[in-house]
């Protein structure tokens, strides 16, 4: 099965000129979803991964499944103000302005190995913020896994420049 064939492309969303890569069709395809999770797990099988950190929101779906397969715990990386207990926060730049991601202060223990998971790596800003946040909490981020890479936007290279190996399943040209 070609995973790219079960990922829907929506033109001009969220704005004209953008080709939005929608993984809800992949998630809804039992064989495709299973294969994607298996392929995300494969590079890390046999490694000691204490936690999988999933970036809101599609990273929660994928990250939960990957954590289950790796017998690891799951840590949500959420947008500001969504977590109920004390948090650590990391600010990152957007095209116009800034945003923030958070984790609970007790989400990871110092020295724990963490795999970061999300559906797509574009510019890498959110993933970079998540890595910095996890490292501030004392985690050792041992990899980042994404279903889709948009290599023209340079996000995977940005994450690799932080010393975090990147694994992706499908690449699409453009934005």
- pLDDT (tens digit per residue) in 43-73: 999 999 999 999 999 999 999 999 999 999 9
pLDDT at 94 over 90: no
CA 143/CA 52 separation, integer angstroms: 10
Catalytic (active-site) positions:
58, 95
pLDDT at 171 over 90: yes
Residue 174 φ/ψ, nearest 5 degrees: 90, -160
Domain at 36-171, CATH from 3.40.720.10, 3.40.50.920, 3.40.50.2020, 3.30.360.10: 3.40.50.2020
CA 107/CA 124 separation, integer angstroms: 22
- 100-154 residue pLDDT tens: 999 999 999 999 999 999 999 999 999 999 999 999 999 999 999 999 999 999 9
Q: Which residues pair with 101 in a beta bridge?
A: 79, 90
Residue 96: predicted pLDDT: 75
CA 89/CA 104 separation, integer angstroms: 9
Using omega within 30 degrees of 0 as the cis cutoff, is the peptide bond preceding 168 cis? no
What's the mean per-residue pLDDT of the chain? 96
Residue 1: predicted pLDDT: 81
Task: Count Cβ atoms within 10 A of the Cβ of residue 145 and give its class: 0-12 exposed, 13-18 middle, 19 or more buried.
Answer: buried
Write out the E strands in the chain.
8-11, 19-22, 51-55, 73-79, 87-94, 97-104, 113-121, 140-149, 166-171
Q: Which residues pair with 102 in a beta bridge?
A: 78, 89
pTM, 2 dp: 0.96
Mean pLDDT on 76-90: 96
């Amino acid at each position: 099965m070609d995973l790219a064939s079960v990922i829907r492309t929506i033109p001009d969303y969220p704005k004209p000129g953008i080709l939005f890569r929608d993984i809800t069709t992949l998630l809804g395809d039992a064989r495709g979803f299973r294969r994607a999770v298996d392929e995300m797990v494969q590079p890390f099988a046999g490694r000691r991964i204490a936690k999988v950190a999933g970036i809101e929101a599609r990273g929660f779906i994928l990250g939960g499944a990957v954590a289950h397969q790796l017998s690891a715990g799951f840590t949500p990386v959420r947008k500001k103000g969504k977590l109920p207990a004390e948090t650590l926060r990391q600010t990152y730049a957007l095209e116009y302005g800034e945003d923030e991601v958070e984790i609970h202060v007790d989400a990871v223990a110092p020295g724990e190995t963490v795999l970061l998971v999300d559906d797509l790596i574009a510019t890498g800003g959110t993933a970079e913020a998540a890595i910095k946040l996890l490292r501030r909490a004392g985690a050792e981020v041992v990899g980042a896994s994404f279903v889709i890479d948009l290599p023209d936007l340079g996000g995977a290279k940005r994450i690799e420049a932080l010393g975090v190996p990147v694994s992706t399943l499908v690449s699409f040209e453009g934005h």
